[in-house]
């Protein structure tokens, strides 16, 4: 009697497991988005892996579809693009650790430099494509709650008492480094490059940060979903996306000065040579520069490089004074050393934030 | 614990089973952990010390230890209460309540994390009630503690429950005959018996809390020096390509965990040895 | 750490003589406080998951669960559990047999080492495999030369899961087999039975419910692991995302109700686990009584 029970139990467990996995695969095969079905009839379907940072999810979802159609038209072949998203630094680390990305599209050149430093791609990768390999740009803007109740107009307002600023952690988030550098650039202009005052400004700014998330998307979630903070320092595209998702609850404030954020793209030489996907990977990134690619970028709130598309979306992106990382900070390696490395400026600003009662507070 | 009186082996299978055990243990657990130790040895002793005594790392250790400690204390009190109620009283729905105790153990930590954050965030069900009182639950050490209380509650209840259940009532009977009050009986007779399982449960909840990641990252707020837990700091270091430092911090955490584990095993042996109820007052 | 998986056998100790229990008021008060605590800490998250997942209605719920990415995450989660649980079960039985039926030196150390994964932070469990198998790790160059993928692929996810769920079955079996001693097996051997047969005919019937119970716990944890898997996954959509990781992604894409819908699936797993557990417990105690 007992053993009958046992057998029945085991059999039903196995059946259940089999059933579940079977229906999983069935559904997958019949689902329209799976390319596996039409791949059977063609030679050599290509699969690319694009390792990207957080706010590009929507952009590449649309872009990948468009590119797959384009590739089919051009070559007759099938290409499937797999996506991986996460904090820029985290993604770069994964590629270094062996995540086989054909292309990387990260938040800042420094993270791709880190990959190049391990020999996965050539040191001068930024020369491979136009505009320093950044097919689209963005900038840093403020997202505030509807009606701008705290009257935030410019960077000065962020250091006032009683303002809560949400930004991700510049140590881990690419977007947050742009935030930080934009604020620094503004303070330099304001205080005429008096470094002590600039540092004081940045320090005050970070004292107003109640939550330091690890990625740009986490920070947006904190601001919009948890309703914490008065201002979100965000990628322009991230801010517009929040507007699109959550509509009338927020508005965008464009500061008088910001930074030209250049998220670069690159082919990971070692991976594409091994997998034999260089041609497709190159076409994939080049397509970003075409009219179609630029249009998709603009639609997803990235500032296009191509003049014709830029003109078309002129009203969407307000003109403002933009500083660049190269002219203002001497490039990423310099900026990293001065601002973000352990023991550099940033560490001092986020340290000893006035404690309102740490663990004892519970 | 029964001592095995087996001198010469009668039963078969020792070489096979022990061999397999050690091999599997080595492959899955020991060799990978060794890799961690070796990587951490990439730093010299003084560098290692500098890394783990860095202000931010110390703050993370402190936060992890304090919140885990506090959560374990809360769980100690309420775990005992729950076990007591479940063993000694009758009330409707008791079976369901008993089953619920294990939920935090079976529920994936990520699910627990987003659920707790949703509830305790300033616009959540409970968070919105606390907000007017000036209490910030999510994104503060309090939020971390709540998550750790959630994670740790089954440990205390499930270690105390069997002991409480198996407790004979002779001593209690005798005490009643001698005219003792309930509270006094509890303190003098029942509690001393429960101390070993309570301590074990406490240590288990504590150890689990120190390393917990999934349920905490969502609710913690991740401010360096304030609400950044140690496991998150390890991930942060990894993301900055600081492998050696990540390994060093991990080794520090591992040492703490290992010490706790040792303590638990000692406690368990102690509680197993304590057969007679008439020994050692609380 | 046997405490976690100790069985609580129901005994009628709730009916106590009046002089051995508290007054009615105290009993009610204590029960009330205990239940309130449980409601706040444990029930509320459960309810919130359900409420949030149906916020956008039944259709959105179904769409979230039948999304191709969700299904592939489900499949990966099942594959992982189907590999990790049986392997850990074989290990658990072997370890419990060696530890409880024989005496040897270093037994206590062995038990402590088996417990180790309980105390190791999940993040560290993932990290160690990155250090070992990552491109910059000890075996990385060799693996790359031979084109073997471990981390950022299914094997790494399975390994990390195996590490995290390593002690469950062994820890459940050791106390049971210890309590049973070696008499039955010795008798069987003296009657001429051989190794495997002794295990199957004598030991297994005694431990079957405990074994199944250990496997169920192991399975629940294997399917729900987040921290360790997150470190080794690589987060490739539709390929290396398990269900818990898929939840995180949805959550990060503003698809809150979809995230909670998938979460409710995992929660269902937890509830099924608990029900199975309580059934097994009553069977175990019945076996003991017989």
pLDDT tens digits for B215-250?
888 888 777 777 888 888 888 787 766 778 888 888
Burial of B257 (0-12, 13-18, 19+ CB in 10 A): buried
Query: Between B267 and C7, whose confidence is greater?
Result: B267
B122, B138, B239: residue with CB nearest A172? B239
Residues paired with A104 in a beta bridge: A51, A266
Measured in Å, how far apart are chain C's first and last C-alpha atoms? Answer: 28
At B147 the pLDDT is: 93
Q: What percent of chain C has pLDDT over 70?
A: 92
Q: Which of the residues B2, B11, B206, B263 would you substitute to probe the C interface, choosing the one with the greatest number of C C-beta atoms within 10 Å?
A: B11
d(CA A118, CA A114): 7
Residue B155 in any domain: the answer is: yes
Residue A21 pLDDT: 41
Residues of A in contact with C234 (CB under 8 A): 84, 94, 99
In a domain, B24, yes or no: no
| Chain C interface includes A278 (CB < 8 A) | no
Q: Which residues in chain A have their CB less than 8 angstroms from residue B121's CB?
A: 225-228
Q: Would residue B22 count as lying in a domain?
A: no
Q: Which of C81, C126, C96 is nearest to C218 (CA)?
A: C81
Is residue A350 less than 8 Å (CB to CB) from chain B? yes
Interface test with B, best of C16, C175, C191, C227 (most B CBs within 10 A): C227
DSSP state, residue B43 = S
Check residue A250 and give its pLDDT: 92
Closest in C95, C99, C224 to B109, CB measured: C224
Classify residue B162: in a domain, yes or no. yes
By DSSP bridging, strand A46-53 and strand A103-105 are parallel
Q: Which of A258-272, B169-183, B240-254, C24-38 has the highest mean pLDDT?
A: A258-272
The pLDDT value recorded for residue B94 is 85
Do the beta carbons of residue C49 and residue C264 sit within 8 Å?
yes
DSSP string of B164-187, one letter each residue: HHH--SHHHHHHHHTT--HHHHII
Does residue B14 belong to any structural domain of this protein?
A: no
Q: What is the mean pLDDT of chain B?
A: 81
pLDDT band at B274 (very low <50, low <70, confident <90, very high): low
CATH classification of the domain holding B174: 1.10.3720.10
3-class secondary structure for A185-225? HHHHHHCCCCHHHHHHHHHHHHHCCCCCCCCHHHHHHHHHC
Bridge partners of A257?
Answer: A321
For residues A249 and A229, the answer to whether their CB atoms sit within 8 Å is: no
Closest CB to B123 among A114, A212, A226: A226
Distance from CA of A162 to the nearest CA of B (A): 15
B interface test, pick of A89, A359, A361 with most B CB neighbours within 10 Å: A359
DSSP string, C113-163: HHHHHHHS-HHHHHHHHHHHHSTTSSSHHHHHHTT---TTSHHHHHHHHHH
Q: How many CB pairs under 8 A join B and C?
A: 336
Chain B, 114 to 153: residues with Cβ < 8 Å from chain C are: 114-116, 118-119, 124-126, 146, 149-150, 153
Q: Which of B108, B43, A204 shows the shortest CA–CA distance to C269?
A: B108
Q: pLDDT digit string (tens) for C113-131? A: 888 887 788 888 888 898 8
Q: How far is CA A357 from CA A167, A362, B141, B227, C183, in A?
A: 22, 9, 9, 11, 61
Asked whether residue B47 is assigned to any structural domain, the reply reads no
Please, what is the Cα angle at B35 between B34 and B40, to 5 degrees?
95
Q: Compute the average pLDDT of residues B131-153.
A: 88
What pLDDT, on the 0 to 100 scale, is given for residue C288?
A: 65
Touching chains, B (3+ CB pairs < 8 A) = A, C
CA distance A39 to chain B (A): 36
Name every chain B residue with its beta carbon within 8 A of the beta carbon of C137: 35
Does A203 contact B at CB distance below 8 Å?
Answer: no
Q: What integer best gives the mean pLDDT of chain C? A: 84
More confident residue, B61 or B176: B61
Mean pLDDT of C238-255: 86
Taking an 8 Å cut-off on Cβ atoms, the answer to whether A353 and B240 are in contact is no
Does residue A207 sit at the B interface (CB-CB below 8 Å)?
A: no
Averaged pLDDT, B184-205: 84
Does residue B30 lie in a domain region?
no
CB-CB neighbours of C271 under 10 Å: 17
Domain that holds residue B257: 54-281
Give the count of domains, chain B.
1
Q: Is B192 on the interface with C (CB under 8 A)?
A: no
The distance from CA A20 to its chain's CA centroid, rounded to whole angstroms, is: 35
**With an 8 Å Cβ cutoff, is C238 touching chain A?**
yes
Interface touch B67/A210, C-beta < 8 Å: no
Q: What is the DSSP string of C27-48?
A: HHHHHHHHHHHHIIIIIHHHHH
Which residues of chain A from 84 to 123 reach within 8 Å of chain B, CB to CB?
87, 89-90, 93, 96, 114
Is residue B129 predicted with pLDDT exceeding 60?
Answer: yes
How far is the alpha carbon of A207 from chain B, nearest alpha carbon, in Å? 11
Residue of A nearest to B120 (CA): A226
What is the arithmetic mean of pLDDT over B5-24? Answer: 76
Distance CA C207, CA C252 (A): 44
In a domain? residue B10 = no
pTM: 0.80
B244 touches chain C (CB under 8 A): no
> For residues C134 and A97, is the Cβ–Cβ distance under 8 A?
yes
pLDDT at B150: 93
Confidence at residue A34, expressed as pLDDT on a 0 to 100 scale: 39
> What pLDDT was estimated at residue B78?
94
Using only C-alpha atoms, what is the Rg of chain C?
23
Q: What is the pLDDT of residue A288?
A: 95
Confidence of residue B276 (pLDDT cuts 50, 70, 90): very low
Q: Judge whether B196 and B270 are in contact, CB under 8 Å.
A: yes
For A30, nearest residue in chain C (alpha carbons): C68
Position C289 confidence tier, pLDDT thresholds 50, 70, 90: low
User: Among candidates C134, C226, C195, which has minimal Cα distance to B36?
Assistant: C134
Burial A297-334 (b: 16+ CB within 10 A, else e): bbbbbbbbbbeebeeebeeebeeeebbbbeebbeebee
A-chain residues near C56 (CB < 8 A): none
Running along chain A, 362 residues long, what does each successive block of 10 average in pLDDT?
46 44 38 41 78 90 94 91 87 88 93 91 91 93 92 92 89 86 93 90 90 80 83 91 84 92 94 92 95 94 92 88 89 88 71 33 26
Question: What number is the average pLDDT over the span C68-86?
Answer: 93
Residue B228 gets which letter from DSSP?
Answer: -
Q: Would you call B29 and C163 a contact, using CB atoms and an 8 Å cutoff?
A: yes
Q: Give strand pairing partners of A235.
A: A140
Which ipTM score applies to this complex? 0.78
Q: For position C26, what pLDDT does the model report?
A: 85
């Amino acid at each position: 009697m007992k053993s009958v029970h046992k057998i029945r139990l085991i059999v039903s467990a196995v059946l259940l497991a089999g059933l579940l996995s079977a229906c999983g695969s069935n559904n997958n095969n019949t689902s329209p988005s799976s390319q596996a079905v039409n791949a059977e009839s063609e030679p050599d379907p290509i699969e690319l892996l694009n390792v990207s940072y957080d706010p590009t999810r929507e952009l590449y979802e649309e872009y990948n579809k468009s590119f797959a159609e384009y590739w089919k038209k051009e070559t007759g072949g099938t290409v499937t693009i797999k996506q991986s998203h996460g904090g820029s630094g985290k993604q770069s680390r994964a590629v270094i650790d062996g995540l086989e990305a054909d292309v990387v599209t990260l938040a800042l050149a420094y993270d791709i430099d880190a990959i190049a430093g391990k020999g996965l791609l050539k040191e001068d990768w930024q020369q491979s494509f136009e505009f320093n390999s950044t097919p689209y740009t963005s900038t840093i803007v403020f997202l505030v709650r509807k009606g701008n109740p705290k009257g935030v107009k410019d960077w000065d307002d962020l250091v006032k008492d009683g303002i809560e600023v949400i930004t991700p952690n510049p140590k881990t988030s690419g977007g947050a480094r742009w935030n930080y550098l934009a604020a620094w650039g503004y303070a330099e202009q304001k205080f005429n490059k008096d470094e002590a005052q600039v540092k004081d400004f940045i320090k005050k700014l970070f004292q107003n940060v109640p939550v330091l998330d690890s990625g740009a998307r986490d920070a947006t979630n904190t601001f919009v979903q948890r309703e914490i903070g008065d201002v979100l320092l965000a990628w322009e595209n991230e801010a517009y996306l929040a507007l699109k998702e959550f509509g009338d609850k927020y508005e965008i404030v464009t500061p008088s000065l910001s930074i030209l954020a250049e998220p670069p793209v690159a082919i990971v030489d070692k991976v594409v040579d091994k997998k034999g996907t260089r041609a497709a990977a190159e076409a994939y990134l080049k397509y970003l520069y075409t009219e179609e690619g630029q249009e998709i970028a603009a639609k997803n709130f990235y500032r296009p490089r191509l003049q014709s598309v830029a003109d078309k979306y002129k009203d969407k992106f307000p003109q403002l004074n933009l500083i660049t990382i190269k002219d203002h900070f001497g490039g990423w390696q310099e900026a990293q050393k001065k601002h973000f490395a352990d023991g550099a400026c940033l560490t001092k600003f986020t340290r000893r934030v006035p404690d309102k009662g740490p663990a004892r507070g519970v | 614990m029964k001592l095995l009186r087996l001198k010469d082996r009668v039963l078969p299978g020792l070489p096979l089973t022990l061999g397999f055990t050690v091999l599997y243990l080595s492959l899955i657990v020991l060799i990978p952990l060794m890799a961690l130790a070796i990587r951490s040895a990439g730093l010299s002793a003084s560098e290692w010390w500098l890394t783990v005594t860095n202000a931010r790392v110390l703050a993370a250790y402190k936060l992890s230890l304090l919140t885990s400690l506090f959560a374990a204390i809360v769980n100690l009190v309420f775990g005992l209460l729950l076990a007591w109620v479940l063993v000694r009283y009758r009330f409707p729905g008791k079976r369901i309540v008993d089953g619920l105790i294990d939920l935090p153990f079976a529920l994936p930590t990520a699910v627990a994390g987003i659920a707790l954050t949703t509830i305790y965030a300033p616009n959540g069900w409970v968070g919105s009630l606390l907000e007017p009182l000036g209490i910030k639950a999510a994104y503060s050490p309090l939020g971390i503690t709540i998550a750790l209380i959630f994670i740790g509650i089954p440990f205390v209840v499930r270690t105390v429950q069997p002991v409480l259940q198996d407790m004979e009532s002779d001593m209690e009977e005798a005490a009643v005959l001698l005219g003792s009050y309930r509270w006094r009986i509890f303190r003098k007779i029942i509690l001393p018996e429960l101390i070993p399982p309570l301590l074990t449960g406490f240590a288990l909840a504590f150890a689990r809390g120190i390393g917990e990641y999934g349920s905490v990252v969502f609710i913690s707020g991740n401010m360096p020096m304030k609400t950044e837990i140690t496991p998150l700091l390890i991930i942060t270091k990894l993301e900055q390509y600081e492998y050696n430092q990540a390994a060093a911090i991990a080794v520090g955490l591992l040492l703490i965990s290992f010490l706790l584990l040792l303590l638990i095993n000692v406690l368990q042996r102690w509680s197993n040895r304590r057969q007679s109820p008439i020994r050692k007052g609380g | 750490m046997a405490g976690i998986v100790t069985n609580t056998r129901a005994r009628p100790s709730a009916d106590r003589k009046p002089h051995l229990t508290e007054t009615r008021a105290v009993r009610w008060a204590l029960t009330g406080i205990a239940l309130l605590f449980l409601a706040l800490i444990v029930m509320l998250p459960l309810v919130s998951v359900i409420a949030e997942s149906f916020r956008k209605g039944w259709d959105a719920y179904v769409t979230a669960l039948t999304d191709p990415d969700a299904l592939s995450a489900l499949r990966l989660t099942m594959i992982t559990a189907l590999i990790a649980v049986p392997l850990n079960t074989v290990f658990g039985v072997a370890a419990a047999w060696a530890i409880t039926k024989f005496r040897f030196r270093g037994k206590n150390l062995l038990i402590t080492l088996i417990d180790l994964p309980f105390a190791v932070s999940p993040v560290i469990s993932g990290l160690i495999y990155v250090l070992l198998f990552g491109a910059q790790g000890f075996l990385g160059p060799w693996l790359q030369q031979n084109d073997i993928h471990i981390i950022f692929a299914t094997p790494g996810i399975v390994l990390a899961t195996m590490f995290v769920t390593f002690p469950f079955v062994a820890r459940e079996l050791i106390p049971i087999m210890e309590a049973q001693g070696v008499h039955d097996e010795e008798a069987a051997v003296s009657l001429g039975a051989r190794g495997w047969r002794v295990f199957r005919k004598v030991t297994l019937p005694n431990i079957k419910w405990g074994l199944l119970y250990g496997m169920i716990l192991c399975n629940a944890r294997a399917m729900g692991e987040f921290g360790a898997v997150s470190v080794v996954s690589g987060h490739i959509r539709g390929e290396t995302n398990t269900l818990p990781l898929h939840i995180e992604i949805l959550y990060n894409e503003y698809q809150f109700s979809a995230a909670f819908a998938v979460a409710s699936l995992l929660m269902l797993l937890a509830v099924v686990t608990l029900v199975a557990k309580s059934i097994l417990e009553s069977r175990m105690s019945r076996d003991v009584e017989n």
